[in-house]
Structure formats: C-alpha cells, structure tokens
Amino acid sequence: MGKITKYLPSALVGSTIAAPLAYIAYIYQKDNHQKQHAVLRNFPLLGRVRYMAEHVGPELRQYLFSGDNEGLPFSRMQYQDIVKAGKYNERLIGFGSSRNFAEDGFYIRNSLFPKLRTELKVDNSQKVTTYQYVIDNEGLMSRKEHREEVLTDPYYLRDEDAVVLGEGYCRQPFRIKGQVGMSAMSYGALGENAITALSKGLGIAGGTWMNTGEGGISDHHLAGDTDLIMQIGPGLFGVRTPGGEFSWEAFKEKADMEKVKAFEVKLAQGAKTRGGHLEGQKVTEEIARIRLIEPGKTVNSPNRFTEYDSFEKLFGFIEEMREIGGKPVGMKIVVGDVEGLEEMVQIMKDSGKGPDFITIDGGEGGTGATYQELADSVGLPILTALPIVDELLRQYGVRDRVKLIASGKLITPDKIAIALSMGADLVNIARGFMISVGCIMAGVCHTNTCPVGVATTDPDLQDGLVVGEKMYRVANYVMSLRAGLFNVAAAAGVESPTMLERKHLTHKDIQGRISSVGSMLHKIEQEEREEKDVEDLPVKN
Amino acid sequence: MKVFVFGGGGDVGEYLLRKLAAENHEAITIAETENRAEELKMIGASRVYVSNDYDFIEAVSGCEAIIYVAGANPRAGENRNVLVDKEAVARAMEEARKQGIERVVYLSPARVDESAKSQETGDKKMPEELIKQDVFTYTIVYSSRGVHKPGKGMIDVITSPSKKVMEIPYEDVAAVLVESLTNKATYNKTLKVASGNTSIENALKNI
C-alpha cells in the first residue's frame, strides 16, 4: 500500500508522457518502413499532415473558403437557392445579385411593358396545402424557426397551354400542367426514403412527373400521387425476362398501370454515354428483386440496346411499344454527333415514325456513378445541344410531332426559362430535387455512404431522412420554380412560360456585346462557308 | 342564392368564390381583365363582368344579396389618399337600393387589432354609414390579420378591443362572410372575428 501511494504519481506522470511518445515512435517507424507512400518514407509522421489536409479540403472549401459563386457542380448560392425555395418557399434576395456580370452568358430580354399579374395565363384555381418554415429569430449560434401549414398557389399552366406528350399518335397522350419534372433517378441510386419523399412531394405539387430511372418501378415510386415516366435502359430492368430478353408481357403490365403515363428509352445520359452503373454495396435484396439481379453485385448496363443499332430498328421498337402500351414513348439522348442527329430527323420525316418526345441531357448532367472521362468530355452541354435538336426538327418539319425535354443543371427558374426559350417544352431536374430532400453535395453517391441518407440504400443512414418533412420541400421547390417561371415570363412580356421563344433571349459576350440566339445551325453553316471562301480565294502572285 | 361579390379577385375574394360555389350559391363578380375573369370562373364564379365594359345595372340585377370586400382599386382613380374606394361603395349601394337588394355583407378594410387611429387612416371606416342604411339588412365584418393558412372553420367573435395581433386564415374570413349571408343572428350587426375555438356557425349564432 505504501509503495503504491509512493510510486503512483510518478508512474502516472511517466506513463502520460511515455505512452504518446511510444505511439509517435511507433507511427514514425511504421511510416518510415511502409512502401506505399514516398512522402511518408521521406517525412515520417509529418507527411501525414498532407493526407489529413487533402481529406478535409473539400469540406473546408465548401463551407469556409470558396466564394459564394464558386464550387462546382453547384455553388453555395445555387445550393441555397434550392434549399430556401424548398424550406421557406422563398426566392427573395436582398441587396442584389451575386452573379458575375463581367462574364459572358445568356440574359432574358425584358419587355418595357411587362405583363401584369392579372394578365398572366396561370391556373391557380386549386390551392395546394403544404408546410413551410418561418424564421422567428436568427442569432449567431442558433436559429429559431417553426413549420406552418399554408395554402399555396401551385402555378399550373392553363388547360389550353398544357404540354401534351404523344397527342394524336397514341391512345393515351400524357397531359402535363407544369413544365418542370423529376429527371431519371433510380431506386437503388437513391434510397427508398428519398424516392418516397420525392414521389409524395411531387404528388402534392401536381402538374409534374417523376422519371423512374432505368432501375424499374418500385413501390416507393408509387408511394405518392404523382405521374410516372418509366425509363427503359439497355439493362431492361423491370421489363425483361429472367434470360435478359425484353419482355413484352412485363412491359404490358407496366403500361397498364394507371400512374405510368409514358415510357422513355434511354440511349444515354449527359454524365455517361453508356448504360447505368450501380455499385454492389447499394444492391440490396429488394433492389435485386426489382431488377432481377444478384444482390451485392455491381450492375453495369450495356452501352447500348444490344439489338437496336440503327434508327430504323430503334424506331420500330418505339412504334411497337406505343402500339402495345398505348402510351407515349420518348427517347433520351446526349448530343454530340450533329450529322447523326440529322440522319435521325431525316428518317423521322421520311418514315413518319419516331419518338413522341426527346429528352436531351446536357453533358453537365448529374449521375449516381460515372467515369471521369465520360462525364467531363463526352457530350455537349445543354444550351448548345438543345437548340441544335430544336432547329434540326424545325428544318425537317417534324418539330410539332415531338416534345423536347431538356436537362443539365437547370435548377433555378431563370435557367429553366433560358432552356424553354431555347426550344425546350419541358425541363427535367435531378440534383435540384436531391438537394430538396436533403443532399449536401458530399459527392459520394457511388459509395453508399451518403451522409444524409439520400443516395444510399443503407437503412441506418436513411434513418436521417424523414419523409414527412422532406416531401413538402419537394412540393415547395416545384411550385416555387413554376412561380418563378411565370415571373420571368411576365418580365419578358408574355403571358405564360410556354410562350418563351428564342427572341426573348440574348447572349452577352465578355466584351459586353450582345448577339441574338436565333439560329445555332445557321451560324455553324455560315462559319463553314466563310472558311471555305477563304480557302477559295485566288492566290495573288 | 344569387350573390354579387365586390372584390372577388383579392385574397379573401378568391376563397369567397370557392366557398359560395361549394355551398351552391351563384356568385357574380367583376374582374380587371378578360384573363382574370377566366381565372375567377375557374375558381367558382358563375359569371364575371370585366370592369371596363360591364353594365352595372345588368350586373347587379336579379341578385339577392351583395358581399362587399372593401378595398381600393388602383384603377378606380379616386383620391390616392384612401384605402377604400368610397365612391365605388356609394355607387354599389345606390344601385342595390334601386334594385331592391336588401342583404348586404360588408368586410371592412380596417382590422380588429388596429388602433382606433389606424382604423381611421385612409378613410377606412367612412363607407360604413352607406352600408348602415335602413333599406339594407347589413352585416359588417372586421377581421384580424389574414394569412394564407388553411381554414380551420374555428373562430372567436371579439367583444373587447385588443391590441394583440391576431390572425385568421383568409379562407375562414370568407367562410364567415358566406355564413353571415343567411345567419339571422348577424343581421344589422358589426362583428369582429379572429381565429378561435368555436365553429363559425355556432360563433355567429350566439352573438
């Protein structure tokens, strides 16, 4: 006893110093002898600072060091615009824009005589009950806010302005009273809570649609009262036989579902001109059951529909689906090969066949998983791709047969209005909706470790996502976007966003000069001609 | 009942048209533009006259009651210093008298929770004397601050003046006006209402 009291203090002091020293020595030795990292061999222990800094860098930049307009794919400002629209149903800002006006970009041409509220062709005859947050008091360390039930104007299009897919071409055309819908996001890429919140939120907002993504229709897509566009990718999930063939029986079953309003054949998406990809960690037993695949195993759809390698064959497939299903059939493409597209449009004109709608995804579009090389450099961005398709269709006189859906970072009303002016009839949003259900842009969609339970099928992480809370944010976000579109339309001097055209748009270059965006193809041709003229000049001697 | 609604296009007005349609009344109102008229018909008005070309006499004729949601129309061109278009009220009441319309329900632009001084601002209380004529069976309603929340159908009739800012969903204000139309207890009275704990029907019955 006496010895313990005598030696304990010095033993404690000794060990609190010795233990860390021993640990440091151990790490030093370990770093020094490992063969993986050169920097650690040369600078044991110290070199670890590099890895720590690299690891926390993205978070530090996102939250502290990047400017409000920096950061890609979405800046902090853009992120906040989405969150505020969903949470507070609010698009007001104070003091002024933080857009960099010195850069080049598109602008809406405002009319000197904008439309009055009472002149807008909007349908607010049905109000929508939703919840939104109201801030009571905001301090440095805390924010007091509460959620309250409100009646909101949904900003539907008038019946006569509704966009109709497949009108006159199929037995059950799809009428849509709003121009903004959810882009393809599969169950599997997103978890069941996220899909359920989206389905319910879109159902509350109405006048919109939900694209199922190529992973098939799950009960979660059907949880809310919203219309579905079922996507069919090269993997044929949800519409295939166990042997991997396209199953007309399964297709008919889906086509008979009341909520399924249209089908979309996915040739490509902006982030990857290839089939879908789902990492093995995300493939739960339920997902495996829906897709008829092996649980836990990474899924890779083929790059293209194996059977359909020409427009004739593809259009034949589309015709058959439309005939059997009775519902509109569209296709999703990425634009790059303009000559190839011209061939497609020529065939549409000659054969009278083709899709009821074309979804054009810009190269900047998002994904749950892709390869860097495809995401960064394959496929044109939407504001180049969209007008090309619009013009080709007009040139061949088939524009009225097909509706265009545009996508690629079109997450705020102004960007959507620009796409509508460029020729889009409708706009698809994916990441905007992810943010509305809680995405914090952690950028780990492919790993199943999404910290907010959106892009994960892990039940524990999904616990964080409360459907009853987030579904209203989805609804508010859609309604706010539609309200914003009417706002822009009024400023441009038209009564409805469906009336926005190229003439309502102007492009300002970096030197402040403006140019019209009347004809993209015409400009390409003109430049080609000019180049040719230069070549043809007689050489003087 | 065939009801002429003045102010059918405002916040309360839209709910009023819905409520009247839901209770099988026939609502006739005025709008500023053709487009707005179309909208109000979608909401529930059975007939909408456009303000610059309607025949006032034709519009009011055959109506059994008037619901007047008072305010100032920026196009009315009366003195800009008013918050209620008194001339418009005078014109409407004159016509109602000529046509023999007896029942008038009037929503004051002044609020329950405003101070007496604020209630007088912009001549907000001026038109009331026009409503309180002997020929009319009137009900004048003061509401608290309107909000875009769903109506609960529960109100309190306020008897003592209060400075506390109380709120009431526009939908409930509309319901009070429609309920007052036929509820004899409200005849020739001025009511002050806010959200509360009694159903609208009972609250009005026991004034």
Q: What would the mean pLDDT of A439-458 be, rounded to a whole number?
A: 93
A21-52 pLDDT, tens digit per residue, is 999 999 999 999 999 999 999 999 999 999 99
A197-217 pLDDT, tens digit per residue, is 999 999 999 999 999 999 999
**What pLDDT score does B119 carry?**
84
Long-range contacts of range A441-446, CB-CB < 8 Å, 24 or more positions apart? A441/A62, A441/A73, A441/A74, A441/A79, A443/A58, A445/A189, A445/A367, A445/A368, A445/A369, A446/A277, A446/A279, A446/A368, A446/A369
A451's tokens: 């910290």
Is B78's pLDDT higher than 50? Answer: no
pTM for the full model?
A: 0.90
**Peptide bond preceding A328 in cis form (omega within 30 of 0):** no
Smallest CA–CA distance, residue A160 to chain B, in Å, is 12
Dist CA A22 CA A25 (whole Å): 5
Contacting residues of B for A155, CB less than 8 Å apart:
none
**What pLDDT score does A422 carry?**
96
Dist CA B185 CA A427 (whole Å): 54
A223-237 pLDDT, tens digit per residue, is 999 999 999 999 899
User: Which residue has tokens 């907000």?
Assistant: B124
In this prediction the ipTM stands at: 0.86
**What pLDDT score does B20 carry?**
96
Q: Which of B16, B19, B34, B39 to mutate to test the interface with A (most CBs of A within 10 A)?
A: B39
Residues forming beta bridges with residue A211, ordered by sequence position? A229
Q: What is the DSSP string of A170-225?
A: SSS-EEES-SEEEPP--BTTB-HHHHHHHHHHHHHH-S-EEE--TT---TTTTSSS
Confidence of residue A167 (pLDDT cuts 50, 70, 90): very high
Taking an 8 Å cut-off on Cβ atoms, the answer to whether B148 and A116 are in contact is no
All domains of chain A in start order, with CATH: 2-65 (no CATH), 117-505 (3.20.20.70)
**What pLDDT score does B77 carry?**
44
Residues forming beta bridges with residue A360, ordered by sequence position? A333, A406
Q: Pick the more confident residue, B57 or A327.
A: A327
A237-295 pLDDT, tens digit per residue, is 989 887 888 999 999 999 999 999 999 999 988 877 766 788 888 889 888 888 878 88
Confidence of residue A66 (pLDDT cuts 50, 70, 90): confident
| Measured CA distances, A465 to A82, A183, A437, A445, B34 (Å) | 17, 20, 8, 15, 46
| Percentage of the residues of chain A whose pLDDT score is greater than 90 | 69
**What pLDDT score does A180 carry?**
98
Q: Which of B36, B44, B149 shows the shortest C-beta gap to A118?
A: B36
**Per-residue exposure over A301-333, b if at least 16 CB sit within 10 Å of its own CB, e if not:** beebbeebeebeebbebbbebbeebebbbbbbb
Do A232 and A265 touch, CB atoms closer than 8 A? yes
A272's tokens: 């990857």
Taking an 8 Å cut-off on Cβ atoms, the answer to whether B150 and A129 are in contact is yes
Do B88 and B50 touch, CB atoms closer than 8 A? no
Is A18's pLDDT higher than 50? Answer: yes
A472-511 pLDDT, tens digit per residue, is 999 999 999 999 999 999 999 999 999 999 999 999 999 9
H/E run at residue A265: strand A260-266
**What pLDDT score does A1 carry?**
56
Q: What would the mean pLDDT of B138-146 be, rounded to a whole number?
A: 93
**What pLDDT score does B80 carry?**
53
Is A528's pLDDT higher than 50? Answer: yes
In this structure, the dihedral spanned by the alpha carbons of residues A388, A392, A398 and A400, taken in order and rounded to 10 degrees, is 30
Confidence of residue B161 (pLDDT cuts 50, 70, 90): low
If you measure CA to CA, which chain B residue comes closest to A129?
B150
Q: Which of A119, A148, A149 shows the shortest C-beta gap to B35?
A: A119
A373's tokens: 């090389």
Q: Pick the more confident residue, A65 or A419.
A: A419
- CATH number where B95 lies: 3.40.50.720
Long-range contacts of range A469-472, CB-CB < 8 Å, 24 or more positions apart? A470/A194, A470/A197, A470/A201, A470/A436, A470/A437, A470/A438, A471/A196, A471/A197, A471/A198, A471/A200, A471/A201, A471/A204, A471/A224, A472/A86, A472/A130, A472/A131, A472/A132, A472/A201, A472/A204
Dist CA B115 CA B124 (whole Å): 12
Q: Pick the more confident residue, A471 or A60.
A: A471
* Total domains in the fold of chain B: 1
Taking the alpha carbons at both ends of chain B, their separation in whole angstroms is 24
Q: What would the mean pLDDT of A109-122 be, rounded to a whole number?
A: 94
Q: Round the average pLDDT of chain A to a whole number and report it.
A: 91
A82's tokens: 């989405």
Q: Please name which of A298, A383, A382 lies closest in space to residue A334, comparing C-alpha atoms.
A: A382
Angle at B75 between CA B72 and CA B76, to 5 degrees: 60
Do A87 and A472 touch, CB atoms closer than 8 A? no
Residues forming beta bridges with residue B22, ordered by sequence position? none
Q: What would the mean pLDDT of B161-168 be, rounded to a whole number?
A: 76
Q: Print the domain residue range for B168.
A: 2-205
Q: Pick the more confident residue, B29 or A538.
A: B29
Q: How many CB atoms lie within 10 A of CB A358?
A: 27
**What pLDDT score does A432 carry?**
96
Smallest CA–CA distance, residue A146 to chain B, in Å, is 14
**What pLDDT score does A185 carry?**
94
Is B170's pLDDT higher than 50? Answer: yes
Dist CA A306 CA A187 (whole Å): 24
Q: Round the average pLDDT of chain B to a whole number and report it.
A: 87
User: Which residue has tokens 């969209």?
Assistant: A386
| Percentage of the residues of chain B whose pLDDT score is greater than 70 | 92
Taking an 8 Å cut-off on Cβ atoms, the answer to whether B150 and A150 are in contact is yes
Phi-psi region of A510 (alpha: psi -120 to 50; beta: other; left: phi over 0): alpha
**What pLDDT score does A375 carry?**
81
Alpha-helix residue ranges (DSSP H) falling in B121-193: 128-131, 170-182
Taking an 8 Å cut-off on Cβ atoms, the answer to whether B150 and A149 are in contact is yes
Is B194's pLDDT higher than 70? Answer: yes
- Our separate counts of H helices and E strands in chain A read 16, 19
Dist CA B27 CA A263 (whole Å): 43
**What pLDDT score does B82 carry?**
63
Q: What is the DSSP string of A78-125?
A: HHHHHHHHHHT-----SS---S-TTS-EEEE---SSPPPGGGS-EE-S
A14's tokens: 């000794």
Q: How many CB atoms lie within 10 A of CB A478?
A: 30
How many Cβ pairs closer than 8 A exist between chain A and B?
35
**What pLDDT score does B53 carry?**
67
